[in-house]
Chain A
Amino acid sequence: MGAAGARHAVSDLRAWQIATVHQLRHYGRSYRFLGLVGAVAFVSALTLAFQLDAGVSAVRIAQLDSPSEYLSNFLDYTGLWVVLAAAFFAGDALSVDFSTGAGYYMLVLPFRRPILLAGRYAAAAAVTMAVVGVYYLFGTAGAVYFFGGSGIPWTDLGLSLALAALFALAALSVAFCVSAFFRSPAAGVLVTLLTLYVGFTVLESVVELAGVEPWFSLAYAGGAMAAILDTDFVHLQVIPLGEDQTYTVWSATVSEAVAIMLAYTAVFLPLSGYLYQRKESTG
């Protein structure tokens, strides 16, 4: 009765492409994506509106007459947007297969699970970078408006964006791992947010108070995204608090940040794959 045409073997690469496109279609139309892009555009536009209201000269003075300083300050919240995107797009990326009927549709296809995960990871990275891209576009537009196009530090801006991409990959890896642990999508999203934003930040502050460099913190590494554009960047700053007391603040160097981000990706992404592979549809 069937009249299917010729079927061709589907390589892992082809399967990855299919899974990525499928996931991108889903993410691209989701309220989460549209909402996040809308939020980043709204907040960025509002920031620019306040700056425009203050006037060009006031902004130039406040930013030390440096487009690099302006960009560094404007893009200081890149980490927050990446973490939000990671939580929304990856916090339930794997648990969705075991908590809804999505898995009964996807997991009966002749795809290896790690390939399916890789497709979702690529799609999540793409939409996360789309959100970050909008943020950088607003920042760059502001820098060009207030300082002129000639003074923009394009190389450092590109490096900052590259660091943001690495940070996104690391944050997504952690989020995928969280989503492989939890059955509830909401729990995965919440735990990802709490871990990446609150957990790391609190931990970082605590160990800094104890005089230890938070080299293990992803949030610490994320600071390099804006710091690379900072004109007065210092790796180590000792702040006197009173007699015989100091508070040491560390800022990750680019090489440190890259190493930390790569380490997170290298540990958590394969771990997600392992957990996803082992997970059963018991519901």
Chain B
Amino acid sequence: MSSGSIAADRVTKAYGEAPPSVLDLSFQYEGAGAIGFLGPNGAGKTTTLKLLVGLLRPTRGSVRLNGFDPVRDRRRALWDVGALVETPEPYPTLRVHEALDLVGRARGLGTADIDREIDRTHLLLHLPPLDRRVGSLSKGQRQRVVLAAALLGDPPVLLLDEPTSGLDPAERVLVRDVLRRLKRDHLILMSSHQMVEVSEVCDRLLFLDRGRRVLEDDAHAVAERFGAGRVEVEFAAAVDRGRLAPVADLVVEATALSATRWRLRFDPRGLARERLLSACQSVAPVVEFAPGALALEDAYLEVVPTASEST
């Protein structure tokens, strides 16, 4: 479905004499899929998203949303875009339904379609009662409402800044599930500090540091590259430490993440992953065998300098 595109051409955003928040950043994404923006605080993730939706003007370079400049032609640039940047706050006096109704009308939906869309997002994201005042919602409830607003009208391009911020673990799982389904036919660009979220949702990763791109690649390739020596295994049945005996000699460390999920650390120089997989399969049927979020964490720590190095 998605015919959306997101592009930046050598875009720089600077404030006075301070080092630029974003420096010479270029990218172009089209079609469907999810791209993750990763980086420490102050890396330029949110600034880039703000530039993309026209909340900031580039100091140099340009950005395009669906081919249009979001500052000069914001109506066309944002027409097919659902955006959640920073912490959006609908007026506290409005009811949830009214806050969403505004977005539906802005996106050109009729009353019946708006109601249908609100019902759809209500089911999808378990929204609070629609007659509740926005000002009376908890942080998590409000976050789900503004996420619903971004999805309303089913825009093909989604720009999401920390979409699960403020949500409890169950809500995060819910949102991740929604994003995984959406990315099949939507173009999603999201920033996050949650490696699990990024590893589960994103197909491609862009690591930023001090406004510069430090690494960009397919998520799988990044995981392969940085995840050598670590793997997360999901068994079809519960496995306790005693049942892991067949792999005990092959791994340096085994950590239980849940009754069925284990994180295994091994020496990649002396052991092929295939051999470890075979050993795991002799324990119990294996549902998933992947570098997992930890590999991204390794990648993050390797390519992005620590806070003390950054300052």
Interface of A toward B, CB cutoff 8 Å? 1-10, 15, 18, 22, 25-26, 29-30, 100-105, 107-113, 280-283
Residue in A3, A9, A109, A282 whose CB lies within 8 Å of B78? A109
> B94 near A1 (CB under 8 angstroms)?
no
Contacts of B81 in A (CB 8 A): 108, 110
Residue in A4, A30, A100, A110 whose CB lies within 8 Å of B79? A110
Contacts of A2 in B (CB 8 A): 1, 120, 151, 154, 182, 185-186
Q: List 12 A-B contacts (CB under 8 A).
A: A1-B184, A1-B185, A3-B154, A8-B108, A8-B109, A10-B107, A18-B102, A25-B98, A103-B55, A107-B53, A110-B78, A282-B56
Contacts of B44 in A (CB 8 A): none
Count A/B pairs, Cβ under 8 Å. Answer: 123
Nearest CB on B from A123, distance (A): 12
Task: Using A2-B185, A8-B109, A280-B56 as known contacts, list a sample of 4 further A-B pairs with CB atoms less than 8 Å apart, ordered by residue number in A.
Answer: A4-B154, A10-B105, A102-B88, A280-B55
Nearest CB on A from B67, distance (A): 14
Q: Is B211 an interface residue (CB 8 A)?
A: no
> B85 near A102 (CB under 8 angstroms)?
no
Contacts of B50 in A (CB 8 A): 281
Complex Cα spacing A280 to B46, Å: 13
> B153 near A107 (CB under 8 angstroms)?
no
Q: Is B194 an interface residue (CB 8 A)?
A: no
Query: What's the interface size class on B, roughly?
Result: 35 or more
Contacts of A107 in B (CB 8 A): 53-55
> A282 near B15 (CB under 8 angstroms)?
yes
Contacts of B75 in A (CB 8 A): 10, 15, 110-112
> B93 near A30 (CB under 8 angstroms)?
yes
Q: Mark B51-92, 1 if CB is under 8 A from A, else 0.
A: 001111100000000000000001111110101011111110
> B79 near A5 (CB under 8 angstroms)?
no
Chain A residue at minimum C-beta to C-beta distance from B47: A282
Residue in A10, A30, A101 whose CB lies within 8 Å of B108? A10
> B102 near A112 (CB under 8 angstroms)?
no
> A5 near B109 (CB under 8 angstroms)?
yes
Chain B residue at minimum C-beta to C-beta distance from A277: B71
Contacts of B184 in A (CB 8 A): 1
> A110 near B116 (CB under 8 angstroms)?
no
A3-B154, A4-B153, A25-B94 known; A101+B86 contact, CB < 8 A = yes
A100-B89, A101-B86, A282-B15 known; A10+B149 contact, CB < 8 A = no
Q: Is B146 an interface residue (CB 8 A)?
A: yes
Complex Cα spacing A102 to B99, Å: 11
Q: Is B106 an interface residue (CB 8 A)?
A: yes
Residue in B74, B85, B117 whose CB lies within 8 Å of A5? B117
Chain B residue at minimum C-beta to C-beta distance from A8: B108
> B108 near A9 (CB under 8 angstroms)?
yes
Contacts of A101 in B (CB 8 A): 86-89
A26-B94, A109-B103, A110-B79 known; A4+B182 contact, CB < 8 A = no
